[in-house]
A and B are shown apart, each in its own frame.
Chain A
Amino acid sequence: MDMIKTTIDGREIEVQRDRWALEVAREMGIEIPTLCHHSALEPYGACRLCVVEVTKGKWTWLTTSCDLPIREGLTIRTDTPAVIAARKTALELMLAQAPDAEEVRQLAEQLGTKSPRFPDRNESNACILCGLCVRVCKVVTGKMAICFSNRGTDRKVGPPFDRSSDECIGCNACVDICPTGCIESRDEAGIRKIPMLKTELKLADCEVCGKPFAPIRQLEHMQAKLREKFGDDFEAGCICPVCRREQTAARLHNVAEKIG
């Protein structure tokens, strides 16, 4: 494994070549704000909050750290005036873009961004187009139920062709990953509703307690995935997380008693 030396904020360390600068810096205890980054996903480089100042030879420039592989001869600073100014402007632009995004508001406050000098672009909007929902759906869930459409300032997130889509299994991964909480999901009378995706899916009832807990389509998707791995006769069962936890606890309890 290629180990190379690099310097971040004046501290020299040895790291594996091609590791992401953001991750290395965070491991060193350096704080770098991010909004479009998630450790389960490949770097994307959209929010531009993670900017750092990089020097190589006689060149110095600003660049994002989430998608910067550490290579020979790089010196990185995360706290220069140029870095701070760039982060503040990014937040100012995002605040005007998505005035309802609480996460952005808090970050802006921390960094001391004033209220934006631009008019609000959308009323009551919290989406900053970070793309985490789009990427988690594709990469982790293995579906393409939520995607970008249009270009430039018309860019938006929604279901394919703006219609309710069979791709959506109602797994809520997009809801959970969204940094600004702008995708709503609720379970009502045995139905999971995600209005932004025009999704309405029937929930399956737990075999044990009888309460509805997860979309039938999601369970089918998981079953199919598990069968790919464990063979065609694998049965996942239809037990809600609460009951499953209780069953496991009971089993553990039994084992513990046996061992004494």
Chain B
Amino acid sequence: MTVKKLTEPDALAKYRDSLVASSDDGKPCVLICGGTGCRAGGGLAVGDAFREVLEQRGLTEKVEVRMTGCHGFCEQGALVVLKPAGLLYVRVTPEDVEEIVATSIEGDGVVERLTYREPATKKRITRESDVPFYANQQRVVLADNGRVDPTNIDDYIAAGGYGSLAKALTQMQPDEIIDAIERSGLRGRGGGGFATGRKWRSARNATGQPKYVLCNGDEGDPGAFMDRSIMEGNPHSVLEGMVIGAYAIGADRGYIYVRMEYPLAIENLRIAIDQATQRGVLGENILGSDFSFNVKISRGAGAFVCGESTALMASIEGLTGEPRAKHIHTSEKGLFGKPTNLNNVETWANVPVIIDKGVEWYTSIGTENSKGTKVFSLVGAINNTGLVEVPMGITLREIIYDIGGGIPKGRPFKAVQTGGPSGGCLPENMLDLPVDFDQLTEVGSMMGSGGMIVMNDHTCMVEIARYFTDFLRRESCGKCTPCREGVLRMYEILDSITAGRGKMEDIDLLEEICGYVRDNSICGLGKTAANPTLSTLRFFRDEYIAHVKDHKCPAGVCQALTTFIIDEKTCKACGACLKACPVEAISGGAKKKPAKIDQDKCTTCGACREACLFDAIMT
């Protein structure tokens, strides 16, 4: 296919009009989620099945099949949405496709069994927009994620894509763009929450050429997949943001740093860069102007610390990913010693929206000092695992209960960790906290890049602190003494407490070392590494003391400090625990005789407790 290069801003608008005119709004379209989660659930095979069935029935010309990026409702994958009706089918397999085509494409019925059933009300919901998971979100950055085919730039252009770039190039001076970003209140979505406009301005004002514009797609937080989904599902939104930023800053080259564990993101970005360059919205003389900007993908090896700005730049340069002091900002001396502006994937994706819809519209969303929306990956003990986008200022309760659908099996909520491995754990009485940069920091956690891990009552908070500290100890680059040696000592103390060897003075030493590591480390990894420990010490201190003084793990997680017993009165002798026990330590549990645990055989793995339908197993 030879692509016509757009050599003037007007040509883009004309081209878009022609795309829109030639498309038929009423034409049925099957949107299949091609995000990583749904691919794991067989999404690609579902797509193939649709193409096959439609061909067999002679419908290939009449129905469009489109593989999109992540829709967000990963828990229910593979997801299929039918347009124009907006029907949502969940957990679709290739075997279901014939029935879907016959019922909902050839006919206008609904395949009831494939619709979403709300766990709380047990009601079936047919339309995607009525599902509470989606209905309670505000999708600004993710708006097109489940709509466009990321490998086809025309989809993006037809949806208005690159219109902001044309506007910026023709109607705005670089300073005006920076001014708009400043007034929009946009803050970095990569963790620090630094004012984006201010950062751009210092890069613009810095002396030295060339200047670089970088995108941070490292996303090292375990369990987080916000940036991944944007890069996979709508790579052009990131590119468009970067081109606008480069124009405002006066940069002519840049890199997108992505980890090798994200092959689909790399693939889709590569396709997007090629297509954008062919179309003339990237590369030399963008849209016929005298502004040029070239971008390359730099692949990282997947170290958490390489998400830190200076380590990332070292890594792009081909050096070991180690941070350095930032007394001299990277906007002055960054990549290859040149003025550099780094922003997170989601930050970049916000830029076209702000230019398109305007500062006023954008600032109407969010709180006083945190504007716009934030994407979170909602994981852990939650019914609706997935990707959610919400306005800043929404409460944790709304995210967890209204969108997330609450905790599975109706178990009680215990804590939520925001901000990834170095975020803090917040208890139940903080559920009504409005989520924004400053509120989260104030209570000892952080926004981070948007990981959100929900925990139920079967979670030991000391063990959680130990777990994350272990991650951070392994991921520390090892350059500076506080982070390398200090986090190790924090881990050792936490480990000894969970193993039942803790002493009361260990808790004081732990707190002292936490403070030292926080105040003395080179980079954000060390400076925040104490958050899981300090926040659990602050909100769940009793649990630490129970481990040390009473020799008991109240949550029944730490094996050395747990004894499970079955409450005879509550036990219904159903036998579920017997089947679950891997070491045959349970007897009875049938013929109305309550089950009993042989403590000598029991390894306190907790499988019986999870299996018990009546909460009869206690610590």
Binding site for B on A (CB under 8 A): 43, 45-48, 51, 61-64, 67-69, 82, 85-86, 89-90, 93-94, 96-97, 117-119, 121, 128-129, 131, 148, 150-155
Contacts and interface: CB of A to CB of B under 8 A. Distances in A.
27 contacts: A45-B480, A46-B479, A46-B480, A47-B481, A48-B520, A62-B520, A64-B325, A64-B522, A67-B327, A68-B327, A69-B328, A89-B516, A90-B481, A90-B482, A93-B486, A93-B489, A97-B485, A117-B509, A119-B492, A129-B478, A151-B303, A151-B477, A151-B478, A152-B473, A152-B474, A155-B477, A155-B478
A131 B320 CA distance: 13
B520 A94 contact: no
Contacts of A86: 516, 519-520
The CB with the most chain A CB atoms within 10 A, among B303, B320, B486, B489, is that of B489
B52 interface: no
A19 to B, nearest CB: 12
Contacts of A155: 477-479, 484
Interface of B: 303, 305, 320, 324-325, 327-328, 473-482, 484-489, 492, 509, 512-513, 516, 519-522
A166 B305 CA distance: 31
A234 to B, nearest CB: 33
A51 B517 CA distance: 13
A93 B484 CA distance: 10
Given A68-B325, A69-B327, A151-B303, A118 B482 contact: no
The CB with the most chain A CB atoms within 10 A, among B477, B480, B512, is that of B480
A45 B476 contact: no
Contact of A129 (B474, B475, B484, B486): B484
Given A90-B520, A93-B485, A93-B486, A152 B328 contact: no
A153 B492 CA distance: 12
Nearest to A147: B320
A33 to B, nearest CB: 13
Contacts of B474: 151-152
Contact of B320 (A45, A51, A128, A148): A148
Contact of A151 (B475, B489, B492, B512): B475
Contacts of A89: 486, 512-513, 516, 520
Contacts of B512: 89
A68 B324 CA distance: 11
Q: Closest 3 A-B residue pairs measured CB to CB?
A: A155-B478, A93-B485, A67-B325
Contacts of B522: 45-46, 48, 64
A251 to B, nearest CB: 45
A258 B448 CA distance: 78
A97 B486 CA distance: 10
Given A63-B327, A152-B484, A152-B488, 8 more contacts: A48-B521, A61-B519, A64-B325, A67-B327, A89-B486, A93-B489, A151-B474, A152-B473
A48 B305 CA distance: 19
A101 to B, nearest CB: 12
Contacts of A151: 303, 305, 474-478
A46 B476 CA distance: 13
B485 A96 contact: yes
Contacts of A69: 327-328
Contacts of B303: 151
B421 to A, nearest CB: 13
A45 B324 contact: yes
A153 B488 contact: yes
B473 A153 contact: yes
A93 B327 CA distance: 25
A118 B327 contact: no
A4 B516 CA distance: 32
The CB with the most chain B CB atoms within 10 A, among A93, A96, A150, A152, is that of A152
Contact of A51 (B475, B486, B509, B520): B520
Contact of A94 (B324, B328, B481): B481
